[in-house]
Amino acid sequence: MASKTIYVLNGPNLNLLGTREPEIYGTTTLADIEAATKARAQELGYAVEFRQSNAEGTLIDWVQEASAKGAGLIINPGAYTHTSIALFDALTAAKPPKIELHLSNIHAREAFRRHSMTAAAVDGVIMGLGAAGYRFALEALKSLIESRTAS
């Protein structure tokens, strides 16, 4: 039986949501996002493994775990978006459908944030929609999973 678990991985400083630069990231906490994500996933027929780490190596380990055990992967790499070749390599090797997610529009931010090193390793990118982006990412990922299963 195929896995019905979607991994939702969050990178550095996302544990500070709700208090960190609310004018950019909003006031919704990561715990609020986790609860809403799990509820929507259940409505869509999926379970969610929701995690956050400030450590690059831990995120890479989790991407590899998601590849081995998950139906799909949503990743908000945080600042590693712009710097991590190792995370790019892990995402490239991961087999399930993958979506990169950002709360803010990285193209409307500082110049160093406008390039994603990881985007080329995923199926799609959702950005600039705040916490609602997690819901949209789940819905898009469900569609990707189903289209691959039907093939």
Q: Could you tell me the CA-to-CA distances from 142 to 42, 55, 100 in Å, in that order?
A: 12, 28, 14
DSSP per residue, 17-74: TTTS-HHHH-S--HHHHHHHHHHHHHHHT-EEEEEE-S-HHHHHHHHHHHHHH-SEEE
Confirm if 57 and 87 have CB atoms less than 8 A apart: no
> CB under 8 Å to 16, separation ≥6 — which residues?
none
Q: Catalytic site residues?
A: 25, 102
